[in-house]
Amino acid sequence: MDHPNAPEVVKQARRMIDVADARHPGLVEICRTNPMRVADMWRDDVLIEFVDDGVNGSGRLGPDGVPATCHMETGDGRPVLRVFRYRAKSRTYFSLLHELGHYLQRTDPGLAVALLGQDAEAGIDFEERACDAFASRVLLPDALVSDVIERCGGVNAYAACTLAENSMASRSCVAKRLVDIMPNPGMIAVYGAWKGMFCVTTGGFPPYEPETPLARYYDRIHDYMDQRYLLWHARRAERFDLTPGDLPVDLRDGAPARMSMCFQRVGGRYQCFMVFEDGLRGTAG
């Protein structure tokens, strides 16, 4: 089941990229190599303040208790984009582009019309989702994603690892980007030895809620995480695809699905992508 405004969010994000390129050409190309140059590109339009992430790495408040925001009025006439500086640079890049997305939606008449077409609560959700979609599509442009998916045989863990290795996007950004284009319901999980687990489902529904149908994937994640990690550790590989062709699995309710899984070594530690797709049998095993 898709989020009710998912198609409109994607349209809004693509319009945002067009507006940004019209104002300062080359945004996508610059972000392929050095997204921090965005701050210089837009310095005449906005004042960008980088602050340390202040609440246990949560991305909610800075050290002075002020959240990351897009303030539309300042003393010198420029709006202020308040952007968190994370330990992981890729997260800072995403935060910078997300806040730029707020600025674009509030200053371009065409983009603002889409926001006004939502009711109050839905409008806030729509704006946030559009900012996420804008940031992910700048860091992971359509052409790159399409090429990787074609080379890797679909939206799978191997494609996720390949995108992470060939872009400036964080692994959570890769997960969000790919889950939006999965052809069937499913979930993408990123597991790190030092960061715990990040999960996102098709349609944007939180996978943690018991009533969410896709929550049934969690049992299978932990089952396969334990045994597959032991295999990876024994092989000491820099990276390998654990499930070439996908692995058939049965979910908690007995429904068929397929899973792919790929490990990467990142800074001496490991991270793992797991991609589940509902209603299909895998081709391995």
Question: 19, 109 in Cβ contact below 8 A?
Answer: no
| pLDDT (0 to 100) of residue 136 | 93
Q: What is the pTM of this model?
A: 0.78
CATH architecture of residue range(s) 153-278:
2-Layer Sandwich (3.30)
Q: Minimal CA–CA distance to 273: which of 178, 203, 207?
A: 178
Beta strands 47-52 and 256-266 are unpaired
Q: Within its chain, how far is the Cα of 17 from the centroid?
A: 16
pLDDT by position in tens, the chain (length 285): 445 457 888 899 999 999 999 999 999 999 989 999 999 999 999 988 888 764 434 344 334 444 456 666 666 778 888 888 887 888 899 989 999 999 999 899 999 988 887 765 665 788 888 999 999 999 999 999 999 999 988 898 889 999 998 999 988 899 989 988 888 888 888 877 555 678 787 766 555 455 555 555 655 565 555 555 545 544 544 445 544 445 555 555 566 777 788 877 766 667 788 888 876 544 443
Beta strands 269-278 and 247-250 are unpaired
**Residue indicated by tokens 């390129």:** 21
* Domain locations in the chain as residue ranges: 6-139, 153-278
Question: What is the tens place of the pLDDT at every residue in 216-238?
Answer: 565 556 555 555 554 554 454 44
Beta strands 256-266 and 196-201 are unpaired
| pLDDT (0 to 100) of residue 285 | 36
The CATH number that domain 6-139 falls under is 1.10.10.2910
Q: How far apart are the first and last CA of the chain?
A: 29
* SS3 assignment, position 186: strand
